[in-house]
Amino acid sequence: MLAILGVREDSLVRDILERRRLAIVAATASSGDPSATAIASFGSFDINAVDRRGDTALHIAAGEHDVESLKLLLSEDGIDIDLPGHGGEPLLLQPRYHLAIEAILAQGGVAVDQVDYLGRTALSNAAARGDLESARVLLRYGARPDLPDPSG
């Protein structure tokens, strides 16, 4: 089938397959399932590995709103929730991932009021974008609405 598709489509299909493989390997290797042994035998798996777009398995699971995979990945030792995805920011600072934000905050160990490269918190980003769901989640986990951002 790949031979029938043009170069652009071929690249897109391969990227989709790679993203799926990364997410599946991450989930399987972490599950305790006997098949994880077979996967692990091909070499060590880096839980923070990125695909060609720059996304980790955590970003992929968040993008697909896969709460179970998010919980599984967040329970893994060595998971880096602060790695930027292809958008250049960690998940906590990307309001469109409100399910991931809630899962990350529920795990603890992350500063809810960290700032992005523009000096804005996740809460100020959510408010600026009109993302009420993310704002509610952030407030529930202690985000401070009184912190100023660069615009005041």
Distance of alpha carbon 152 from alpha carbon 147, whole angstroms: 9
- pLDDT tens, per residue, the chain with 152 residues: 334 444 444 565 556 556 666 666 665 555 555 555 454 445 456 778 887 778 888 887 777 777 777 777 777 778 888 788 777 777 777 656 666 777 777 677 677 888 877 888 888 888 888 888 888 888 988 999 999 888 76
pLDDT attached to residue 18: 63
The number of CA neighbours under 13 Å toward the Cβ of 88 is 3
Domains of the chain (ranges; CATH) run 12-141 (1.25.40.20)
pLDDT attached to residue 145: 93
Nearest to 112 by CA among 88, 78, 147, 76: 147
Go through the chain and tell me how many residues it has.
152
pLDDT attached to residue 146: 94
Check: pTM over 0.85? Answer yes or no.
no
